[in-house]
């Protein structure tokens, strides 16, 4: 997987399209899948741009918050926790919960992308 702001931008565009589509179980599941790779790309691009040695997503998020790239690290920790639930999206309640998280994640990721592009 390429780790660049361009790849993150493409991934977020793909997520936007899914989120703007009429709701169905298929759209929900596609949105969750796209959330997974957008979140992974987000912290990996942060890691690369900051030049950090941290290898764990939460550590990278903490460092990004310390550098002013992320306003609310706890929100991002919630995103990571819900990302870890995505292997259980066969459970309807979990899928719905994660889908709600995806809708909160998207605008935060767009803000982050803007900050990353200015580095």
User: Where exactly are the structural domains of the chain?
Assistant: 5-117
pLDDT score for 88: 73
What pLDDT score does 96 carry? Answer: 93
pTM, 2 dp: 0.93
Class of domain 5-117 as given by CATH: mainly alpha
pLDDT averaged over consecutive 10-residue blocks of the chain (119 residues)?
A: 89 98 96 97 97 95 97 98 86 92 98 95
Q: What is the pLDDT of residue 86?
A: 87
Q: Which is nearest to 1 in space by CA: 56, 32, 44, 34?
A: 44
3-state helix, strand, coil in the chain (%, to 5): 80, 0, 20
pLDDT at 87 (0 to 100): 83
pLDDT value at position 33?
96
């Amino acid at each position: 997987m390429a780790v660049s702001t361009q790849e993150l931008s493409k991934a977020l565009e793909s997520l936007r399209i899914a989120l703007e589509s009429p709701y169905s179980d298929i759209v929900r599941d596609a949105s969750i899948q796209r959330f997974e790779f957008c979140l992974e790309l987000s912290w990996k691009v942060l890691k690369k741009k900051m030049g950090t040695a941290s290898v764990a997503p939460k550590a990278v998020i903490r460092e990004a918050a310390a550098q002013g790239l992320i306003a609310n690290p706890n929100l991002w920790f919630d995103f990571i926790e819900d990302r870890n639930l995505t292997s259980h999206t066969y459970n309807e309640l979990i899928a719905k919960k994660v889908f709600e998280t995806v809708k909160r994640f998207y605008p935060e990721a767009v803000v982050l992308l803007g900050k990353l592009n200015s580095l």
